[in-house]
Amino acid sequence: MQESSDKLQHRDWLRRSESLNIEGRLFINGSYVEAKSGARFESLNPATGEVLAAVARGGAADIDLAVASAKEAWRDGRWRFMAPRDRMNVLFRFADLIEQRSEDLALLDTLDMGKPITDSLTIDLPEVIVTFRYFAECIDKLEGLVTNSETNALHMIMKEPLGVVGAISPWNYPLLMAVWKVAPALAAGNCVVLKPSEKAPLSCLLLAELFMEVGGPAGVFNVVNGFGDEAGKALALHPDVAKITFTGSTEVGKQIMIYAGQSNMKRVALETGGKSPQIFMADIDDLDQAVDYAFAGIFDNAGQVCNAGSRLLVHQNIHDAFVESFAKRSQAVYQPGDPLDPDTTLGPVVTKEHQQNILRKIALGREEGAKIVFGGGAAETFEPGAYVKPTLFSGVENHMTLAREEIFGPVASVIPVKDEQGAIDIANDSPYGLAASVWTKDLKTAMRMVKNIEAGVIWVNCFGDGDMTQPFGGYKQSGNSRDKSMESLLGYTQSKSAWFKLE
């Protein structure tokens, strides 16, 4: 039994991190195995720059092995033909065990990619658990249909799983983004090969081990770590993979579509990048409340969020008050700190290389004429950690790099807008369309904006709120699919029509 998390202090987390037993091998067919090549790569802790673990570097041969074991499990029906309530019970027990092991899983994600431990523990892990419970609950509600056909025939339409699902996940929510794929895929009866990000490869290994502990059959859930252009590419090209479900950058997402076309025309589900607008109209009731949502929407997880509200479209009548309140209130909340300190709200970004990318974009913002209101550099006191200070730019125009490219760091840009139509035009002037928010007290304005903004998720008078019933995914180059919700579950099924001639 673990100590209760509300008692764990900074020193307790430090102690735990020193004694943590980290597994780095691949997880294939129910056991840990080395990569066939014997190669390993280093996973670094971005808060300190120290080596955290040496992780097996899976390649095409390991993907072949994992897909073969998933295919075998698929063929003999050990999972898809399990009685629905039995499959549900495995996933419920899985969710319970994840809950019991929350602190270990949270600690792995925090050490691996720098997320504050309080966020791992109170945001990521509860969402992981509810994702498994939600999709487990759906299992025996997946119904087919008998159609109204001619009297001498019986026509049934059944929902069947696809087979072997390949999942490729990013590092920003290492466990949660993987689970948004793995949970519905398993619930629908598929077998899964997961390739986590090489920048945060650890927690998913423990996840696969826990699946076996609760009675999950071998071969049904496999984890192969490795690099994108090695293990990831091999999975996306594999002829025995029926669907590839991907979360990551738009650039790699496009490549995944090519791999599918080059191989077996497997189904492709993409959840990719974003440049979400947060729109603040002049009639907001409570500016401070809106500002609190605004900065959480860009500084949470150090801005490494696909739907990060990085473009602040603020009505010109409230612009100055908004910027002043944002600067004052956000700096009181978000300051760099040790991610293992439960009071920390802003950890490092994922790697030194990513820190340098963000700093380059900040420098470009200055060169293009935007003005830094606060922040704008590395947090030197935390060197060699990969920290970036929370940063606000004003005077941004929508054609500038700051407004067009996904920075994936704690960098917000304020763009003044004249009116509703101006806000809609700027919001839609982006290759992305993942999410948006609208702040107004006028329901008619809100509804017009909801209808006219090209985004898969729109929040009105909030940002980031939601639950498992909410389909999550993008318009345009933010993706072609949805995570969470029944819609996601159905994406891991296919329809079979069975026509019985009765006479």
* Residues in contact with ligand NAD, shown as a per-residue x/- string from 209 to 238 under the rule CB under 6 A: ------------------xxx--xx--x--
What is the number of alpha carbons within 13 Å of residue 420 lying toward its C-beta? 15
Scanning 9-17, 34-42, 360-368, 474-482 for contacts with ligand NAD by CB under 6 A, the matching segment is: 474-482
* Cβ-proximal residue to ligand NAD, closest one: 228
What single-letter amino acid sits at 297? G
Q: What is the distance between the alpha carbons of residues 450 and 26, in angstroms, rounded to a whole number?
A: 45
What single-letter amino acid sits at 477? Q
**Is position 248 an interface residue for ligand NAD (rule: CB under 6 A)?**
yes
The DSSP bridge pattern shows strands 432-433 and 475-476 to be antiparallel
Residues in CB range of 473: below 8 A, 6 or more apart: 271, 434, 456, 457, 479, 480, 481, 482, 483
Q: What is the distance between the alpha carbons of residues 179 and 205, in angstroms, rounded to a whole number?
A: 12
**Is position 114 an interface residue for ligand NAD (rule: CB under 6 A)?**
no
Minimum CB–partner distance for residue 223 and ligand NAD (Å): 12
Interface residue with ligand NAD among 62, 103, 271, 338 (CB under 6 A) is 271
Interface residue with ligand NAD among 71, 80, 181, 195 (CB under 6 A) is 195
Q: What is the distance between the alpha carbons of residues 265 and 243, in angstroms, rounded to a whole number?
A: 9
Q: What is the distance between the alpha carbons of residues 337 and 312, in angstroms, rounded to a whole number?
A: 25
What letter does residue 7 receive in the DSSP assignment? G
Minimum CB–partner distance for residue 257 and ligand NAD (Å): 11
Q: What is the distance between the alpha carbons of residues 40 and 57, in angstroms, rounded to a whole number?
A: 5
Sheet with 31-33, edge to edge strand ranges: 31-33, 26-28, 221-223, 191-195, 164-168, 243-247, 267-271
Scanning 26-34, 69-77, 114-122, 266-274 for contacts with ligand NAD by CB under 6 A, the matching segment is: 266-274
Q: Counting Cβ atoms within 10 Å, is residue 465 exposed (0-12), middle (13-18) or buried (19+)?
A: exposed
Interface residue with ligand NAD among 132, 211, 408, 439 (CB under 6 A) is 408
Interface residue with ligand NAD among 13, 74, 135, 171 (CB under 6 A) is 171
Minimum CB–partner distance for residue 234 and ligand NAD (Å): 8
**Is position 255 an interface residue for ligand NAD (rule: CB under 6 A)?**
yes
Name the residue nearer to ligand NAD (CB basis): 210 or 268: 268
Q: Where are the beta strands (DSSP E) in 378-464?
A: 391-394, 411-417, 432-433, 435-439, 457-460
Question: Sign (positive/negative) of CA torsion 237, 238, 243, 248?
Answer: negative
Q: What is the distance between the alpha carbons of residues 228 and 496, in angstroms, rounded to a whole number?
A: 34
Scanning 100-108, 111-119, 192-200, 340-348 for contacts with ligand NAD by CB under 6 A, the matching segment is: 192-200
Name the residue nearer to ligand NAD (CB basis): 180 or 322: 180
Scanning 34-42, 99-107, 115-123, 163-171 for contacts with ligand NAD by CB under 6 A, the matching segment is: 163-171
Minimum CB–partner distance for residue 307 and ligand NAD (Å): 7
Name the residue nearer to ligand NAD (CB basis): 103 or 271: 271
**Is position 249 an interface residue for ligand NAD (rule: CB under 6 A)?**
yes
Q: Counting Cβ atoms within 10 Å, is residue 249 exposed (0-12), middle (13-18) or buried (19+)?
A: middle
Name the residue nearer to ligand NAD (CB basis): 30 or 228: 228
Interface residue with ligand NAD among 46, 161, 166, 170 (CB under 6 A) is 170
Minimum CB–partner distance for residue 456 and ligand NAD (Å): 9
Name the residue nearer to ligand NAD (CB basis): 102 or 276: 276
Q: Which of residues 319-378 bind ligand NAD (CB under 6 A)?
A: none
Active site residue 50: no
Q: What is the distance between the alpha carbons of residues 207 and 105, in angstroms, rounded to a whole number?
A: 8
Q: What is the distance between the alpha carbons of residues 227 and 42, in angstroms, rounded to a whole number?
A: 12
Catalytic residue (choose from 103, 209, 230, 271): 271
Name the residue nearer to ligand NAD (CB basis): 3 or 251: 251
**Is position 66 an interface residue for ligand NAD (rule: CB under 6 A)?**
no
Interface residue with ligand NAD among 119, 209, 300, 406 (CB under 6 A) is 406
Interface residue with ligand NAD among 44, 65, 136, 177 (CB under 6 A) is 177
Question: Sign (positive/negative) of CA torsion 72, 131, 202, 107?
Answer: negative
Interface residue with ligand NAD among 26, 138, 162, 306 (CB under 6 A) is 306
Q: Is 413:393 a contact under the CB 8 Å cutoff?
A: yes
Which residues of this chain interact with ligand NAD, rule CB under 6 A? 168-172, 177, 195, 197-198, 227-229, 232-233, 236, 247-249, 252, 255, 271-274, 306, 406, 408, 434, 474, 478-479, 483
Which residues have a catalytic role annotated?
271
